[in-house]
Amino acid sequence: MANILVTDGMAAEGIDLLKQAGHSVDIKKISVDELLRVIGNYDGLVVRSATQVNEAVIKAGAPKLKIVGRAGVGVDNVDLPNATGAGVIVMNAPLGNIVSAAEHTIGMVFAVARLIPQAHGKLIFKNDWDKKSFTGVELIGKVLGIVGLGKIGKHVAQVLQAAGMSAIAYDPFLSPEVAKELRIESVSLEQLLERADFITLHTPLTEQTRNLINADRLKLMKKTARIVNVARGGIIDEAALTEALKAGTIAGAAIDVFATEPIPADNPLLNYVKGGALNCILTPHLGASTEEAQVKVSVDIANQFNAFFASGKIINAVNVQLRVDPAIDGYLAAAESLGAAVVQTLDEPLKGLEVIARGDLAKYDTKPLATATLKGALAKISDQVVNFVTVAKIAADRGITLVSSSSEQVKGTQGGPMEQLTVKAITAKGEHIIGGSLVNGQLRVVRYNDYSIDLPIGGHLLVMEYPDRPGMVGRYGTILGENKINIARMEVSRIDGRGDALVILTLDDPVPTSVVEEIRATVKPNKAYKVSL
């Protein structure tokens, strides 16, 4: 079980899930210096937006730290390049605060349209019944411009369309079919800025989106337009926005996120509003701050941690390009086992892997299965940390190639399991093949090179190929018995009635190398390998 540190708070429901899974959980707010001192004792770290998981923290966590979880969407407080280089998986919880962030965006649209917080403040704190200064605008009939049409943007669109707004959107990945279904017109960013009356932002902060809304783009907007950002700080150039609001280039802004948080005293927007400006609303990063959202993201990240530490399953990792169709999710561990098994039966260095999906499995994107196969193989031959973050680089450094393909052709013996996944391990001297299938959720190996077999795979195996003649079983059985190694299962296969036989023994304990050497000397097999899974 894992040791997990939670530094920015986490809902009790999420903490309970981690503890129920048997993990040790420490919950504490700590200084940067203390974090650097203790992080090396933890397998996992859960943060929100306050803790900065920088290069120093990642280095201090090595080699024990395996996963960083952000209980929320944005991971700009995590050094992704260094995490990836160190093999640390970074996960987020992108679905838990969708409704919360969307509703805050919608609330900000209404607030900036009617100047609600400004009017409230003047009435309550200045006792000033001022109606003239707070004439707003209606939303009905106005154009809503959405930058980034993900789940949050779609929810915003649906609600504000119901309020009578028409919607246009800029999203490079928006297909015409989806746009038509949502009753949203797909436009360029420049067209959106020129046409929209209200603009909402819903993009992550990347090098491409940093200062996406700058001085030049603010000039494209209508003077009557208003902009809302509940996404990430840094998407809008705050100094340029301040100048546009002062000059009347645009009519208003409502901002929940800032380039530096907590917002510093010298922030231009903060000082502009403090100076009495009425056309700008600021809130302290409240987009995900609902009771429901806090529970959802905590439960999500806890479930993701539990899945990872229980079976290595990776969910919502932002630095792992692995998106597995749920229909073939169960094959991920199977592919990894096949890769680990075949590489332990090689006499020469691995040069490449070819992974072939067969039959119904071929209908899906099986590249993730190929990656899982490679991961399983490398874990047995590399002394580095091998996971879905590091596997590609380790393979490239070793010159190991990976090819994935699909075939509708299914192999198998009559009455036995069909071969759904074929793995070819390529060496300088040729190919070594293993084929498997999932039967009732259990991996069965149905092929090894030219031999047809049917073996539930797992645990400790002894794989031998030898000339088939009487007395062979007695010889290696005696050696194993004398060394107190029990045979749990035996699988024997021959290509024809005479010649060589393939024997795979499932054993209760691993076979020491000295015992394998004794079997080689006595039985004189063509090949003998010990395999551990």
Nearest-angstrom CA–CA distance, 514 and 413? 36
CB atoms within 10 A of CB 322: 16
Dist. CA 198–CA 213, nearest whole Å: 14
**216, 189 Cβ separation under 8 angstroms:** no
The neighbouring-strand residues paired with 501 are 466, 494
Omega of the bond prior to 262 within 30 degrees of 0, cis? yes
Is the Cβ–Cβ distance between 7 and 31 less than 8 Å? Answer: no
> Is residue 120 flagged as an active site residue?
no
Residue 460 appears among annotated catalytic residues: no
Identity of the amino acid at 383: D
- Residue entry with tokens 């792992």: 320
Candidate list 261, 398, 460, 475, residue with the active-site label: 261
Residue of 441, 444, 382 whose CA lies nearest to 413: 444
Q: What count of residues does the chain have?
A: 533
List the catalytic residue out of 23, 217, 232, 358: 232
Interatomic CA distance for residues 128 and 46, integer angstroms: 47
* Neighbour count for residue 469 (Cβ, 10 Å): 8
Determine if the peptide bond prior to 204 is cis (ω within 30°): no
**Distance between CA atoms of residues 293 and 73, nearest Å:** 11
Q: Answer whether 112's CB lies under 8 Å from 252's CB.
A: yes
Question: Is 444 a catalytic site residue?
Answer: no
Q: In what order do the strands lie in the sheet with 67-70?
A: 24-27, 3-6, 44-47, 67-70, 89-92
Is residue 386 within 8 A of residue 374, CB to CB? The reply is no
List CB contacts of 165: < 8 A, sequence separation 6 or more: 139, 140, 141, 142, 143, 144, 198
C-alpha of 470 from chain center:
54
d(CA 172, CA 192): 13
502 strand-pairing partners: 465, 493
Tokens of 488: 């749990």
How many whole angstroms separate alpha carbon 58 and alpha carbon 417? 45
Which of 285, 432, 444, 447 is catalytic? The answer is 285
Contact of 463 with 529, CB cutoff 8 Å: yes
| Segments of 400-495 assigned E as strands | 401-407, 421-427, 430-439, 442-448, 451-456, 460-467, 487-494
- 229: three-class secondary structure by DSSP: strand
Catalytic positions are 232, 261, 285
